[in-house]
Amino acid sequence: PLYRAIVEALAGKDAFVITTNVDGQFEKAGFPPERQFATQGDYGLNQCARGCHDGLYPNRALTEKMLARAEGDGTRIPSELVPRCPMCGGRMNVHLRIDGTFVENDDWHTAEARYRRFVEGMRDCPTLLLELGVGWNTPVIIRLPFERLAAALDAPLVRINYDDARVPAAARRGVGLQGDIAEIWPLLVSA
């Protein structure tokens, strides 16, 4: 429900989502995929564990088969359902940035380029940087760049974070709102 409320509030606005979440919630909530950049991957895709090629494979049907045929305590699946790379025959992993084998295919690079163009356009068009729940796990992807953008462009930054909503003084027009996004969001959109 929170993602749907956010997407509804962004409707009709020139918005772009950069996310380190890999659960596809913005797309599921109806946000246009061409206005998103999921930098860390997608649970809904598999890739070669070795990264021998840049193919990504939807895994929903396979996952449903695995669940239907799980054995014992539900954690074992028949060996014929273990996904194998169609190129090298090796193991497949979920498409997550866990090591140097993460696949950055053409779609990933296209999304990155769209995001970069959006950021470059911020020089000419006032833009609110809305940061939702970005912590310290991978601060170099969103948190620190948003702080630099806010300072360099004198752009407003709204940071909502459950644990640490502090905004540095260099982001002059920044505000940190500490707490649960689900509780804060309705107050923001009704203001």
Give 190's pLDDT tier (boundaries 50, 70, 90): confident
Strand partners, 107: none
CA distances 111 to 69, 117, 118, 157, Å, are 36, 10, 11, 23
What is the arithmetic mean of pLDDT over 61-66?
Answer: 95
Contact 54, 104 (CB under 8 A): yes
What type of residue is 161? N
pTM over 0.85: yes
Summarize pLDDT for 114-154 with one digit per residue, the tens: 999 999 999 999 899 999 999 899 999 999 999 999 999 99
DSSP for residue 79: G
Residue burial 55-79, b: 16+ Cβ < 10 Å; e: rest: ebeebeebbeebeeeeeeeeeebee
What is the arithmetic mean of pLDDT over 25-54?
Answer: 97
Q: What percent of the chain has pLDDT over 70?
A: 100
pLDDT of residue 186 exceeding 80: yes
Instruction: Return the biggest CA–CA distance within the chain.
Output: 60
Q: What percent of the chain has pLDDT over 90?
A: 95
* Beta strands in 27-184, from DSSP E residues, in sequence order: 36-38, 41-48, 57-58, 92-96, 129-132, 157-161, 174-178
Give 175's pLDDT tier (boundaries 50, 70, 90): very high
Rounded to whole angstroms, how far apart are CA atoms 139 and 146? Answer: 10
The closest of 34, 41, 42, 40 to 17, measured between CA atoms, is: 34
